[in-house]
């Protein structure tokens, strides 16, 4: 994988995280705390899945999945 490809992948990943944070903020501002909780729970589950993939020690597959 080229350096530029890694940078592009990280940009997309950061973009997705910022979208999640903006959704949480919007829900909080609207007082929709159930939606805030659901979104945070989804993020935690996704992070746990990512950690599980990372622990498999298959970096090429890990990168392929994120592309």
Using one digit for the tens of pLDDT, what is the confidence trace for 1-58? 788 888 888 899 899 999 999 999 999 999 999 999 999 999 999 999 989 988 998 8
Q: Specify the pLDDT at position 61.
A: 85
Angle at 22 between CA 17 and CA 26, to 5 degrees: 150
What tokens were used for 50?
A: 């990512």
Distance (Å, whole) CA 33 – CA 51:
27
pTM: 0.78
What are residue 43's phi and psi, to 5 degrees? -65, -40
**Taking a C-beta distance cutoff of 8 angstroms, is the pair 7, 22 a contact?**
no
pLDDT at 43: 96
* For residue 67, pLDDT beyond 80: no
> Is pLDDT above 90 for 65?
no
């Amino acid at each position: 994988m080229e350096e530029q490809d890694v940078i592009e992948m990280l940009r997309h990943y950061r973009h997705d995280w910022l979208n999640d944070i903006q959704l949480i903020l919007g829900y909080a501002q609207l007082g929709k705390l159930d939606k805030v909780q659901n979104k945070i729970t989804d993020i935690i589950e996704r992070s746990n899945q990512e950690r599980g993939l990372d622990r498999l020690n298959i970096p090429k597959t890990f990168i392929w999945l994120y592309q």
